[in-house]
Amino acid sequence: MRSSLFGRLLALFLLVPTAELILLIWIGERVGFWPTVGLIALTALVGSWLARREGVAALRRFQERVATGQLPGRELTDGLIILVAGALLLTPGMLTDVVGLLGLLPPSRAWIRGRLQARFQQNLARGSATMFVMRGSTASPTSEESVEDPIILDATILNEDSDLS
Torsion over CA: 142, 144, 146, 152 (sign)? negative
Distance from C-alpha of 151 to C-alpha of 137, rounded to nearest angstrom: 13
The predicted-structure confidence for 101-156, as pLDDT tens digits, reads as follows 999 999 999 999 999 888 888 888 887 666 555 555 555 555 554 556 666 666 56
- Residue 72 vs residue 164, higher pLDDT: 72
User: What spatial distance separates the first Cα and last Cα of the chain, rounded to whole Å?
Assistant: 56
Q: Are 16 and 95 in contact (CB under 8 A)?
A: yes
User: By C-alpha distance, which of 123, 122, 94 is closest to 30?
Assistant: 94
Distance from C-alpha of 100 to C-alpha of 92, rounded to nearest angstrom: 11
Q: Which amino acid appears at position 105 of this protein?
A: L
Residue 16 has pLDDT above 70, yes or no: yes
